[in-house]
Amino acid sequence: MAGRRLAALLLAVCLLAAGYGLYLLGGPRQAHFVWTAGTSLKGERIGPYHLREEVGEATPKGNYEEYQYYATDDGAELAAGKGSRSIVRIQLNAPGGMTTKKGIAVGDAKEKVIKLYGSSFYNRTEQGMAIMGYVDHERRETLEFWLREERVAMLRLDDSTME
């Protein structure tokens, strides 16, 4: 009888672990942050843009339920919360000279990212692309590198509340 209870308990634990693994594969970005060791992103930026700064000269691009997106003349895309001009997302998906604080640009190799930012990152996929991300738990920021064939195809710096 005790053997059957133990087997049932082990089966339940395995099913929960498998379910959580599937949740991480298809779940929200925030699901990946909990188990990832933090990386300091103090002063992080993409080109001249920093999180929580005011959107400067930029053209409104898309108006979504919770965010207003802006296109900049230098190719970056910025997002601010509704009714605010404070930047909560910065992304860049075209080469053009802009880099992160540590010098990563679109087109750089995944190995360079790991060399400069370290091995404490999460992996996820979205829109068919592999993504490696660094999280600063203290500052509530994430820096993601979207990869195509082991090279950076897009840089994304977010306030971690961004969905």
Residues 41 and 20 in one domain: no
Q: Which of 7-16, 52-61, 83-92, 121-130 has the lowest mean pLDDT?
A: 7-16
Within the chain, residue ranges assigned H as helices are: 2-26, 110-117
What b/e sequence results for 97-119 when a residue is b if at least 16 CB atoms lie within 10 Å of its CB, and e otherwise?
A: ebebbeebbbebeeebbeeebee
Residues 97 and 124 in one domain: yes
Residues 108 and 64 in one domain: yes
Tally of structural domains, the chain: 2
List, for residues 119-156, the tens digit of each pLDDT value. 999 999 999 999 999 999 999 999 999 999 999 999 99
Domain coverage including residue 66:
33-159
Q: What is the mean pLDDT of residues 47-74?
A: 89
Q: pLDDT confidence of 52, banded at 50, 70, 90?
A: very high
Q: What is the pLDDT of residue 16?
A: 56
- Token digits for 107? 């087109």
Q: Mean of the per-residue pLDDT values for the chain?
A: 85
Residues 51 and 110 in one domain: yes
